[in-house]
Structure 1
Amino acid sequence: MTKKTTNNNMEEQDISSGSSEAELPAVGKVNFGDLRRLEPLTRSFGYDRGRPIDRYYINKFLTQYSTDIAGHVVEIGDDRYIKRFGGNRVTQSDVLDQDHPDSTPTIIADLANADHIPTDKFDCIIVIQTLQFIYDVHAAVRTLHRILKPGGVVLASLPSLSPICRYDMDRWGDYWRFTSAAVQRIFGDIFGSGNITVEAYGNVLVSTAFLQGMAAEDLTPEELDFKDRDFESLITVRAVEA
């Protein structure tokens, strides 16, 4: 089915649907089942049910680029992914974070204001689900570019759709959700568009499930791996310091 839709001042666009009107439930007759609720199934991002859905994609991303995790590697927040994916390719590792009781960084810094970190220091920087908590995200990405060695790689993930992390919101802020176009522009402007690879994951089912706190185990691999570019849930970027 194809129909016309108008969004604010945008011109009418053709929107294609895979279902006919006869297959769609009538207005007011949608069966929400377990999801007709004002409270999510859980507020723990799915951790109390299994593996969070965003971590399913993050693991796929880091597996794909695991050979980049080599040499002197720094991870933001903790070193779980250095240990999981770096192996004996890592010759030195650090954890970068701000000074707070929940972290034990080897480098204390705010990525948006980190002039004390030497230039050209790291071979790889792992930045997983971090940039949404930094208000001046452009300054943070400029820092990532500056502290990478030539040929070094940033491996980052950013949420496109996610519940607010109340713990972080109440302590230092949960500011941003991104689109693939925004990530392409932010990293491309600093690293050069030819030096970055941006990928989006998700679909409407994944988006609904993640907001409800469902886990990856609640969905099939086919459901998780189906990509709908109009329903981005997670964005990844591999950026090289040329």
Structure 2
Amino acid sequence: MTAFFPFRRLGRFGRLQLLRLVAQTPAPIGRLMPRRFWTPPPGGIDFGDFGRTEPISVDFGFDRGLPIDRYFIERFLERNSSTVRGRVLEIGDNEYTVRFGGTQVEKSDVLHVDATHPVATIVGDISVPGTLPDRAFDCIILTQTLHLIFDMRGALAELARALKPGGTLLVTVPGISPVDRGAWRHTWYWSLTENALERLLASVLAKEDTEVETFGNVFAATCFLQGLSLHEVSPAKLDVLDKSFPVIVAAAAKRPLE
């Protein structure tokens, strides 16, 4: 083993020297190299359309197409579509219930805080105990809602109580995200990490029955902050996962059978 040590050192130093040489490569050639080998030198960044202090869209990208965060949310729901069955509760409307549950859904409920909402079947605030019926739902879909509730743990406790034994809570929350400029601006309290959502759910449901995941990378986060939509970017780039840049944090959490 000792005899090979100089060669290992030479290889390591050789790689370092190669990286230094590559870093000095002129931009026209460097941009053709794999990104892990070459980055623009300091002062050499071309900001292009991103070189502005206002985002390209101030509406998360809805005005340009499907927002990038929705792409991640819908991938998560599609993978967990087998749990969208029986009696299902969704917040605001039942679009995802119908889309991902289909004929598996026997009864669709919609929760809203506004009693005049046309499709609401349950009216109330999920952070208030007793808002939901006990052990009533086979699945609860809670997308991009938890961060609008200051007492997140209280809301999750209410949702957990409302699940049937064996029922599933499908929840998504923002990680790296703009803050809404419109109706939700004054109740936008949180952005969460994977660790935060995992601990919150573990306080009300068994950790072993919960799967938490993240979606995003620096490219996805940058494009989402600028308000680009799905059709403007490469889905292959969005699908690369870098947990240091969570755009969406999602979890499928089951209430244990009793």
TM range (shorter): 0.7 to 0.9
1:156 aligns with 2:171: yes
Quickly say closer, same or farther: Cα 1:26–1:114, change in 2 above 3 A: same
Aligned match of 2:237: 223
The residue type paired with residue 57 of structure 1 is: F
Aligned match of 1:182: 196
Aligned match of 2:123: 108
Q: Name the structure with the higher helix share.
A: 2
CA displacement, residues 134-170 of structure 1 (integer Å, 9 cap, x when unaligned): 0000000001100000000001111001111122334
TM-score (norm. length: structure 1): 0.88
Preserved CA contact (<8 Å) 2:132 2:159: no
Comparing 107-116 with 87-96, greater Cα deviation is found at 107-116
Preserved CA contact (<8 Å) 2:166 2:255: yes
Aligned-residue sequence identity (percent) comes to 39
From 219, 241, 248, the counterpart of 1:205? 219
1:36 aligns with 2:51: yes
Task: Name the CA distance, whole Å, in 2 between partners of 1:73 and 1:101.
Answer: 21
Quickly say closer, same or farther: Cα 1:38–1:102, change in 2 above 3 A: farther
Task: Name the CA distance, whole Å, in 2 between partners of 1:235 and 1:35.
Answer: 25
Task: Name the CA distance, whole Å, in 1 between partners of 2:115 and 2:50.
Answer: 37
Which structure has the larger Rg over C-alpha atoms? 2
Aligned match of 1:77: 92
Task: Name the CA distance, whole Å, in 2 between partners of 1:135 and 1:116.
Answer: 16
- State the Cα RMSD in Å: 1.7
1:133 aligns with 2:148: yes
Q: CA deviation at 1:103?
A: 6.2
Q: CA deviation at 1:26?
A: 2.9
Partner-residue secondary structure (3-state), 1:95? strand
1:165 aligns with 2:180: yes
CA displacement, residues 86-143 of structure 1 (integer Å, 9 cap, x when unaligned): 1111111110010166664110010100414221011110000000100000000001
CA displacement, residues 160-189 of structure 1 (integer Å, 9 cap, x when unaligned): 01111122334x510000000001110122
Preserved CA contact (<8 Å) 1:96 1:107: yes
TM-score (norm. length: structure 2): 0.82
Partner-residue secondary structure (3-state), 2:190? coil
1:53 aligns with 2:63: no
Partner-residue secondary structure (3-state), 2:58? coil
The residue type paired with residue 111 of structure 1 is: I
Structure 1 residues without counterparts, runs of 5 or longer: 1-17
Task: Name the CA distance, whole Å, in 1 between partners of 2:223 and 2:39.
Answer: 20
Aligned match of 1:86: 101
Task: Name the CA distance, whole Å, in 1 between partners of 2:131 and 2:184.
Answer: 26
Partner-residue secondary structure (3-state), 1:139? helix
Partner-residue secondary structure (3-state), 1:168? coil
Preserved CA contact (<8 Å) 1:202 1:233: yes
Q: Name the structure with the higher strand share.
A: 1
Runs of 4+ in structure 1 off by over 2 angstroms are: 18-29, 100-104
